[in-house]
Structure 1
Amino acid sequence: MPAISALLRPRPLVLTLCSALLATAVAAPSALADPTDQGRSWKVTGPPGSPTAVVALDPTDGHPSLAVRRGDRTVLEPSPVGLVTERADFSKGLTFTGRTDRAVAESYTSTTGKSERRVALMTESRFRFRTASGARVDLLTRVARDGVAYRYVIPRDQGDVLRETSAFTLPAGSDAVIGKYRADNELPFVRYASATEPPAGSYSMQALFNTPGGRALIAESDLNGTYSGAHLTHEAGSSTYKVGLWNDEPVQVEEGSGLTTPWRAVITGDLATVTQSTFVDDLAPPSRVRDTSWIKPGPALWTWLAGGKEAGQSLDAQKKYVDYAAERGWPYEVVDAGWYFKPGEWEVIDPEWQTKNWMPELVRYGAAKGVKIQVWLHYTLLTDPVEREKWLSTLERWGVTGVKIDFMDSESQERMRWYDDVLEATARHHLMVNFHGSTIPKGMQRTWPQVLTFEGVGGEEKRTNTAEHLASLPFTRNVIGSMDFTPGAFHRPYRPNVASDAGELGLTVLYESGIQNLAGTPESYDARPEARRYLEQLPARWEQTRLLTGDPGRAAVLARQAPDGRWFIGGTFAGAARTVDVPVRLGAGRWLVETVTDGPSGLVRTPHAVRAGDDLAVPVVADGGFAAVACRWHPGRTTCES
């Protein structure tokens, strides 16, 4: 086994400037503010086109706030910032002691997500405050073209964090697309005409608002075991959404240590800017995995919704799924729950699973056909360090390439520490990861690129999803990071687009996931040859993503570019049947666009020759959608199939 130091890159103490952006970084302001400055508000501006953050200190009681503006329009009203520890109250009575500014310029690549190559340009300002008793806190802010973020830095010996006073106050006239908070992050998103309208309660930290100054998506980044996960709390009729911590439990800080909290972020701009943003990843620490050559995304045949627990306990059934994946050219087959239980005893782990299990045989069978195996694990198998090492080292020795870890159902500090341990261990054992019953990405995929996807979404397994929920996800949950919705389950009678096979097909592109777990049965694919043909063409990753048109909760059409230059397009719509006009914003010149839509007798594939900037008229059924693929047009070309 390679040494840990050869596999993991230690977290850098400073941010690295990419050479192409060095001049920008050097030119940025870097100055220490005069501590005697009597000003009560300070602006932070970023690269051209960025919003402006305004940090202020109330002259009456010394409470700090932060506002966000675009030009003369308000994205976020002055909103409380601060936190309270065992030994200090950093939410009021503060005095400003100084400010320093610097530029942050980074370039990096991502194994998953909306784009492979990323460039992050941000202005960072550190505001220093102290209490009347001399306790110090820094408010670290960053402003980028697509967002504003802040976090707190506390010197050592301030005790545990009891609560945050962080909040987001929306201006009048804002609407909302938000979902109630639950530990597994799987509740549906709902659209409200006003940000004051949602009932009192807790909401997920991925709420989208349409404000007079542009869209604003609340998010969190760089969450790890030094802190607990956050959610939003809201009182009926209020335009303020407060930050709440897990079960209102104190965040434990090691005695003698300081603390840097996760980022509180507002992704902002027009709808396309927010949808295409990588701001959450940009804020996160760089990759800790030195060699990422073994991390390979791609489509998978997922057998749970296709065959259930019986398939999980059957080698013969799994071999048939491997055969089908090989015929389609899909690189992975995912074996879900049941494979390590005693045959016929669903709740009893076979004590001889290491020596008698059929998984090594399945791995060998798949390897001969070019299909690699990923397996499901209950998270409790990985809580004890000795047991965790036994399970992961065995899977690595067998040749299993990935693990789907399930049922964490918590964002407590203790559970986030578990994530830290599992992330290090899976990287060391060269195992790709899909977290289910989980937190949402929050930058983790940049720091630990072996994490190809998360659930944290009301996905295909749910029986209560709505068309509105489907049309909300590209603008909320999937902005944050990869999302294992598990689309393609044509055989499921519970899906909200049950009358639209084309809409179900389009979800495989509309929703980004490093491992796109296709949830249908082989029989359902064979009964829909146009869907099968489309799914066989899905690439392993995306070069870039563009929003073509959308209205959160009502419509979403995204185009994603494959490495070979083709664009795949997915669209979903809530409401009545209609013909929709989709702008072709893929690049200059002429394009051949093959649409797959619902016809009276099944799916219909239709070629269209269009010019850049044209609108493509696409018929959709009620609560339906479509799929498409586009390639460069030339005389005589009738298909984009490579």
Structure 2
Amino acid sequence: MRKTLALVGVLTLLPLPAQAETPAQALTANVVHDPAKGTFSLSVQRDGRTVVLPSPLGIRTATADLTSGLRQVARSTRTVSEKYRMTTGKRLDRTVRHTETRYSLSGAGNARFDLVVRVAEDGVAYRYELPEPTDVLSEASAFAIPAEANAWLMPYNPQHENRRFRTTAGAAAVGEYGNPSLFQVGEDFVLLTESNVDGRYAGSSLRHTGGGTYQVQLKDQRVTGARIGPWRTVIVGDLAGVTESTLVDDLAEPSRIADTSWIRPGKVAWSWLSEHSSPRDFERQKVYVDFAARNGWPYVLVDEGWSDKWVPELTRYARAKGVDILLWFHWNQLDTAAERQTMLPLLQRWGVKGVKVDFMESDSQSRYQFYDAILADTAQRKLMINFHGSTIPHGLARTWPHLLTMEAVHGAEQLPLPDGNPIQPFTRNVVGSMDFTPVSLEVGPKVTSIGHEIALPVVFESGWTHFADKPEAYDRYPEALRFLNQVPTVWHQTEVAGGYPGETAVFARRNGDRWFVGGIAVGDARTLTAPLSFLGAGPWLVETIRDNGGRDDVVRSTARMSSSDTLSVRVPANGGFTAVICPATQGTTTCYKPIPQVPQTSLTVTPTTSVTAEPGSSFEVTGSFTVSSTRPVMDVELKPSVPDGWTVTGNPVTTRVLRQGEVLSGRWTVHVPAGARPGGFEVPVAAEYLVPDFPRVHVAKAVRGLVPLTGQAYVSDLSFDSATNGWGPVERDMSNGESGGGDGRPLSIAGTQYTKGLGVHAESEVVISLGGTCRTFTAKAGMDDETTSPGSSAFQVIGDGRVLHQTGVLRTGDAPVALTVALTGVRVLALKVTDGGDGKNFDHADWAEAHLTCS
């Protein structure tokens, strides 16, 4: 445990000496003025030892060079005291006590800015504040580290996924390195990073310019309209102190979400890494839902490839089992306000609880403005979020507590060797939740032990922990799975129990009255130790889970221990261990808790066949909800939900308690507005109830129907039942373009442009419900001229599952094929494009002037 120490910030105006330090002053920040050059620099000391050498300060804007010729105008000091609560992180409750000194500085032409410096128990930070919004060109900001200091660095890339490696501050090659960067200066450790970066500024890297100097390099050549810059952050202490630091969050802006009750961290079953094609498979995703429900994991993430054709049904299936669905998106699918205004309410209606947004891969100001926008919009819709292919955490999870995790790591998706695992908790994971996607038992290189893998959810912190392997793999290791079912993702306290970057890492984290210990090592077999001094008065029951030889399942043993004891575990090469510790009260034989399950229930709805609903008409729906289990359910509500603009006659049906065999029934009349859009619809009837250990459980079944199409219409103006596409979304009245929505060009086939139609990419399928009212479908089919290499596709018109017409293979440059297809009696139309037999690359295809004529 680290003791609280007094903090000071020291300003020295040369040639005067620095203020004297007292033994209680652990950290000092010396801001030094050189009056001859008019420059300012900052150095940092810990217990009198210099850990950051004098390093330049200053900023260059479009109107002034504020790096030299500076003088101090004023200075003031205050104490910053705050308390706040997180939804994720190394501990939930946080206390902030910083000494803040503001230096008002003036340069040539009386241009001014403020240098704001904060000194905390766990580090030093500074930022620049300009008097009015100004374009920023660069910063003089740099950190001079003693050249002989050990260093753990990551070559910069915008997705922050390169491997970290060990070197020294001076020996590292000249070039860019990513935040955070860790250095060992004698007995002290220094972690360099940044905090409170958002769309008002740009992100940065650390450019090693030689010696041990690391220059802050902005990722935009011009940051527009900046006024308050990010905190340049130096976390300082022993290794435990740096690792347990919350300084990055402490410097961030307070939460913008008043009610966080809907935000729920937890374990996630995730299929993409172990079987890439599975997110396209409804039945396979149900297997993951069943596995999650059986093991008490609250979420399933459906990654790239999901279809709106079946996600609503999967969501209903999952919620009835106490499991919620998360969905993957390429960021280009949500990068405009219009796309978010369309998609996010739809996700809410489906019952989806969160999104994984991927491939941002930029630290530019414009990309940070996207982060700002989507965080605000998802918060408004009560959708949790996970950023992949992203920047590092900058305190965003304090400002936006529904941000459950971020990637920015060389994680399991890279099929990494284990030597990086004991570096990540001391570097990347220090600054925020890290979506490493751990516990690869059968997927990946399989060079770590099972004990090492199951320790990762303790050693690594993530508000959502996405497990990397498939259900069958975990089921083959039942003792390992039992531990995974116990480990939480929310921590009240974190202690570093031992380790050294790149060699070992031993962490103890507390949730409620239980401690979870995880230890990992790379290299030869050895003994890992964890002094139990973090425990309070005992005795304590300690259940240790360790390897059992080869890659066999782990074994569990039990002992009684006290806070004066040390837990020692022999681990194999690249091995690890875990432990669960709880109070050894009378009669307690295990720290493991039962896995909660939702009660067995059933719901029936009518009509059971498809409803044809003319605009302006009404129809009746019913629902009956029954409890099959002996355990009663509480606060039950049964009601339908209808599409926007539709109305219902009849109130929800409720009961305080519903016991085994009892039935709750309701009857309602649904009114279809006169202006209802044609196409398929769903009216879900849902029962919601409360049982211990779960949020409100949602059991629903949908009444399905169709508003028939009449008159004439272009297909691009209609609602789709579903739309799948081989690259990006299906585009309306433009070519397929790139991976984002709305990024196509005018539809063009063999040099002729068309104003109406669909732009797609093989394999593609657009499904539209017609209701048997349409007579003909017409279109001009062909490959779009935007293909940069010859593409080829075949077009199919399918009615009620039967191929009504197909073109054969068409290639880039071929004249469009005119289609006229009879649709008499067809209820469901599908427009399908295949890859032509030679792969889908370059297969941008157009349904130009796609048109329906109906009764």
Classify the TM-score, shorter chain. 0.7 to 0.9
Change (3 A) 1:484 1:182: same
Q: Report the Cα distance in structure 2 between the residues aligned to 1:80 and 1:627, rounded to whole angstroms.
A: 45
C-alpha change, 1:47 and 1:391, in structure 2 (3 Å) is: farther
The reply on whether 1:307 has 2:275 as its aligned counterpart is: yes
1:394-413 alignment to 2 at 5 Å?
394-413=346-365
2:321 is matched with which residue? Answer: 369
Aligned to 1:429: 381
Q: Which runs of structure 1 show a deviation greater than 3 angstroms over 4 or more consecutive aligned residues?
A: 27-31, 37-50, 634-638
Of 249, 252, 255, 2:224 maps to: 252
Aligned amino acid, residue 572 of structure 1: I
CA distance change for structure 1 residues 424 and 41 in 2, over 3 Å: closer, same or farther? farther
Counterpart of 1:321 in 2: which secondary structure?
Answer: helix
Q: Which has the larger radius of gyration?
A: 2
Specify the alignment match of 1:571 in structure 2: 519
Q: Tell me the equivalent position of 2:703.
A: none
Aligned to 1:469: 420
| Corresponding position: 1:185 with 2:180 | no
- Where does the alignment leave 5 or more consecutive residues of structure 1 unmatched? 1-23, 341-352
Output one character per residue of 1:585-637: Cα deviation in whole Å (capped at 9) or x when no partner.
33233322222111124312122322213222211111221121111235664
Aligned-pair CA distance for 1:45? 9.2
Q: Secondary structure at the match of 1:569?
A: strand
SS in 1 for 2:36: coil
Contact preservation (8 Å) 2:546, 2:576: yes
Aligned-residue CA RMSD (Å): 2.3
Deviations 1:472-491, CA, capped at 9 Å, x for gaps: 01110000000000011211
The answer to whether the 8 A contact 1:488-1:518 is kept is yes
Work out which of the residue numbers 409, 426, 440 in structure 2 matches 1:489: 440
Query: Would the alpha carbon gap of residues 42 and 360 (structure 1) be closer, same or farther in structure 2, given more than 3 Å must change?
Result: farther
Q: Deviations over 1:300-332 (max 9, x none)?
A: 1111123322x2112111111111100000111
Q: Number of residues paired by the alignment?
A: 586
The residue type paired with residue 159 of structure 2 is: D
2:566 corresponds in structure 1 to 615
Which residue matches 1:360?
312
Q: Name the residue aligned to 1:509.
A: 458
In the other structure, the counterpart of 2:295 is: 328
Alignment of 1:2-151 (within 5 A): 50-151=26-127
Specify which of 379, 401, 414 is matched with residue 449 of structure 1: 401
Which residue number in structure 1 is paired with residue 662 of structure 2? none
2:517 touches 2:578 (CA, 8 Å); kept in 1?
A: yes
1:559 paired with 2:533, answer no
Q: Pick closer, same or farther for the CA change 1:321–1:29 going to 2, 3 Å.
A: closer
Aligned equivalents of 2:22 and 2:382: distance in 1? 38
Alignment of 1:204-243 (within 5 A): 204-212=178-186, 214-236=188-210, 238-243=211-216
| Aligned equivalents of 1:575, 1:205: Cα separation in 2 | 27
* TM-score, structure 2 normalization: 0.66
Shift of 1:281: 0.2
User: CA 1:322–1:263 in structure 2 vs 1: closer, same or farther (change >3 Å)?
Assistant: same
1:40 is displaced (CA, Å) by 6.2
Please give the secondary structure, in 2, of the residue aligned with 1:51: strand
User: Alpha-carbon deviations, 1:234-285, whole Å to 9, x = none?
Assistant: 135x111111111x521112xxxx6110000001111111111111000000
Which one is further off, 528-537 or 148-157? 148-157
CA displacement at 1:205 relative to structure 2: 1.3
Percentage identity across paired residues of the two chains: 46
Answering whether residue 151 of structure 2 is matched by residue 176 of structure 1, we say: yes
Measure the CA separation in 2 of the matches of 1:409 and 1:399.
29
Q: Which residue of 2 aligns with 1:592?
A: 541
Q: Give the match's secondary structure for 1:307.
A: coil
Residue pair 1:46, 1:143 contacting (<8 A) in 2 also: no
Whether the aligned pair in 1 keeps the contact of 2:7 and 2:28 (CA below 8 Å) is no
Deviations 1:507-555 (A, max 9, x none): 0111110101111111111111111100111224111100000111111
CA drift at 1:581 = 2.4
Question: Structure 1 residue 46: deviation in Å?
Answer: 12
The one of 283, 297, 301 equivalent to 1:316 is 283
Find the aligned partners of 1:300 and 1:143 in 2 and give their Cα distance.
38
Aligned position for 1:9: none
Aligned with 2:252 (options 257, 270, 284)? 284
Query: Cα gap change, 1:45/1:508 in structure 2, threshold over 3 Å: closer, same or farther?
Result: farther
Q: Which amino acid aligns with 1:633?
A: A
CA contact (8 A) 1:45 1:51 kept: no
Preserved CA contact (<8 Å) 2:406 2:435: yes
Give distance in 2, aligned partners of 1:49 and 1:632.
37
Alignment partner of 1:415 is 2:367: yes
Is 1:83–1:166's contact at 8 Å kept on the other side of the alignment? yes
Amino acid corresponding to residue 286 of structure 1 in structure 2: P
The farther-off stretch of 293-302 and 42-51 is 42-51
User: In the alignment, is the contact (CA less than 8 A) between 2:64 and 2:108 conserved in 1?
Assistant: no
| AA in 2 matched with 1:170 | I
1:632/1:119 CA distance change after superposition, 3 Å: same
Q: 1:195 aligns with which of 141, 149, 169?
A: 169
Measure, in 1, the Cα distance between the counterparts of 2:122 and 2:18: 20
- Partner SS, residue 461 of structure 1: helix
Query: C-alpha offsets along residues 83-126 of structure 1, whole Å, 9 cap, x if unaligned?
Result: 11111111111011110111100000000001111101101100
Determine which structure has the larger strand proportion and give its number.
2
Query: Residue 545 in 1 paired to residue 494 in 2?
Result: yes
- Give the AA of the match of 2:175: G
Name the SS for the 2:273 alignment partner: helix
TM-superposed CA distance for 1:48, in Å, is: 5.7
Structure 2: unaligned runs, 5 residues or longer: 594-855
Which residue does the alignment assign to 1:298? Answer: 266
- SS of aligned partner of 2:413: coil
Deviation at 1:44, TM superposition (A): 12
Q: From the two aligned structures, give the one with the greater helix fraction.
A: 1
What is the alpha-carbon distance in structure 1 between the residues aligned to residue 135 and residue 26 of structure 2?
Answer: 35
One-letter code aligned to 1:274? V
Q: Deviations over 1:51-78 (max 9, x none)?
A: 1000011132111100000122111111
Higher RCO (C-alpha 8 Å, min separation 6): 1
Whether the 8 Å CA contact 2:7–2:27 is kept in 1: the answer is no
Alpha-carbon deviation of 1:39? 6.7
